[in-house]
Every structure is written in C-alpha cells, then in structure tokens.
Amino acid sequence: MILVAGGSGRLGTLLVRRLSARGLDVRVLTRDPLRAQHLAGVASEIVVGDVRERSSLRKLVEEAETVVSAVHGFPGKGRVSPASVDRDGNANLIDVAAEKGAHVVLLSVVGASRNHAMELFRAKWAAEQHLRASAAPWTVVRATAYLELWAEIMAKPIVFGRGRNPINFVSVHDVAAVVERCVLDPALRGRVLEVGGPEDLTFLGLAELLQQLRGEKGSVRHVPRLMLRAGAPFSRRASAALTMDSIDMTFDAAAARGAFADIPSTDARSALSRALTEHAG
C-alpha cells in the first residue's frame, strides 16, 4: 500500500494515476474529500485526514509501505500555511511513518534552505532536516516551479514585478514521473534528487508564450514592484512574487538527471500546449 498525502492536488493526482495504472494499491490522504472525487475508482482508498493533527494520522498510515508527502500550505489561509503544513505537518507525517516502519518520499523545492527569503522554502528545508534525522528510509525530491501552475495563475496576461528575472519551470508531469521512480526504487533511499525543466524562462517570456498558444493579442500588464512591496507584509503571494522577481531562480536541469536520464524533460511550449489541451477537454 502506498499512501499519498496531498494526493488530490496537481502533482498528487498524476502520481496516483501513474501508480494505480501499475496495479498498485494507493491510498489518497486529503483534507477535503470533495477535492478527491475525481480519483474515485482510480485510488484504492480515499481517506480524510489532516497532517497538522498527528493523532489522526496513525490509523491512516497503517499498512502503508511507502508514504509520499505532496502536501503544501502556501496558498492557504489562517492555520493553513507553510509553517503549519510544509514544516510541522510534514514532521507529523514523517514521525508516524517512522513509527509504522514505512519509507518516506518527500516533495520539496530546489533552493530549500534555512535562511531563504521565501517562507515556503524555509519550511521545506525544515521538513527535509526532520526527515533526514528520522528513522524512516527516505528520499527527497526537489522540484523547480511548476509550469502548469503558473500557466493557471497567469490565465490573464499579468506579470508580477518587472518579469525579467530568469526562473526555471518544470512540467508537473516530469516531476510525477521522477516521484514514481523514487517510490518504486528503494535504491534511491538516502538521496536528494533535483528535477527542473530544460530551460529558464522569465515571467514576461512565459506570458508571451501563453498568449501565442492561446491565440491572444495585447500587451502584458504588470503589478508594479512598489505595490508588491506594500502588500508583502500582509500577503504571502505578494511577498513571494517580489522575491521571485529578484533572486536567482535558475537551474541546470541537465546536470541533475543522472538518476532518471530516461524520464522526459519537457520543454515549456510542449508542456503548455498539453496543459491547454487538457484544460479545453
């Protein structure tokens, strides 16, 4: 049995479908069962739980040989945050998995570090350290920014800040393939694997590419950096957008592909074309 926490999300859904297609038993852990309705008949089980509540996890992790954590609290409000979900929630899930003797595959981010400017990256780093110190056999998969997520966020041609900072974007399909490999291959335990896309792209470049693929015309609008600075103390998204417009977010994906050289490395145009086709369907 494989437990996928956050299995109803963008990455989790793809992973659940891939593992289930192999005939494996997959249990999806979600806070909201309505968000997992599309996996009925795909996953073996859909269970309701909250990684922020350790006591609720013990029964849900029973019989799981591997636990995959694809949870995230970045877009949440109130008690749902990177600190409560990505840091503390992952710690709860890791500890329960270790108690039950399960392996853990943790989804993190390229650039995670103790002193990173973004709260999410600090929370993911803390989760990584907790996992390394645990008794659970572990693998960490770090990914760059999900291209399909940002295509959705930029449904309108709006760029936050100047939009000229190069950022590495990766197709979530490629990340799901890497995570699937990590679930299936115990030889990858004790390793931190990084996955990114084959090219860096600015937000301006992404907006222009999306316009081309959608057959749209018109100028790209900007949310000025001054406005982002004003909103940063009160908005997690404004703070993150300002950071992404400022710091080095490039990545050499080719140098990191040793463990999964046979997995596709999808270029931005191909990934976005597929995303737009799937959305239209």
Write out pLDDT tens, residues 85-99.
Answer: 999 999 999 999 999
Judge if 132 and 208 occupy the same domain.
Answer: no
Res 280: pLDDT: 67
For residue range 77-126, what is the model confidence (pLDDT) as tens digits?
557 899 999 999 999 999 999 999 999 999 999 999 999 999 999 999 99
Domain count, the chain: 2
Judge if 33 and 131 occupy the same domain.
Answer: yes
Question: What is the pairing mode between strands 158-160 and 145-146?
Answer: unpaired
Gap between the terminal Cα atoms of the chain: 32
Judge if 96 and 123 occupy the same domain.
Answer: yes
Helix extents (H) in the chain: 10-21, 58-61, 90-100, 119-133, 147-153, 172-184, 203-214, 225-231, 236-244, 268-280
Res 78: pLDDT: 54
Judge if 116 and 153 occupy the same domain.
Answer: no
Q: Is the pTM of this model over 0.85?
A: yes
Mark the ranges of the chain whose per-residue pLDDT is less than 70: 75-78, 280-281
Residue 49 covered by a domain: yes
Judge if 166 and 62 occupy the same domain.
Answer: no
Judge if 8 and 27 occupy the same domain.
Answer: yes
Judge if 48 and 139 occupy the same domain.
Answer: yes
Judge if 159 and 274 occupy the same domain.
Answer: yes
Res 217: pLDDT: 83
Judge if 139 and 149 occupy the same domain.
Answer: no
- Domain-terminating residue out of 143, 160, 186: 143
Q: Report the SS3 class of residue 237.
A: helix
DSSP structure class, residue 6? T
Res 73: pLDDT: 84
Judge if 85 and 13 occupy the same domain.
Answer: yes
Q: Cα separation of 107 and 1, whole Å?
A: 19
Residue 260 covered by a domain: no
Q: Cα separation of 48 and 70, whole Å?
A: 15
Residue 154 covered by a domain: yes
Judge if 96 and 153 occupy the same domain.
Answer: no
CATH number of the domain bearing residue 223: 3.90.25.10
Residue 128 covered by a domain: yes
Residue 181 covered by a domain: no
Residue 57 covered by a domain: yes
| φ, ψ at 214 (rounded to 5°) | -90, -5
Domain with 227 in it = 144-171+197-251+266-281
Residue 167 covered by a domain: yes
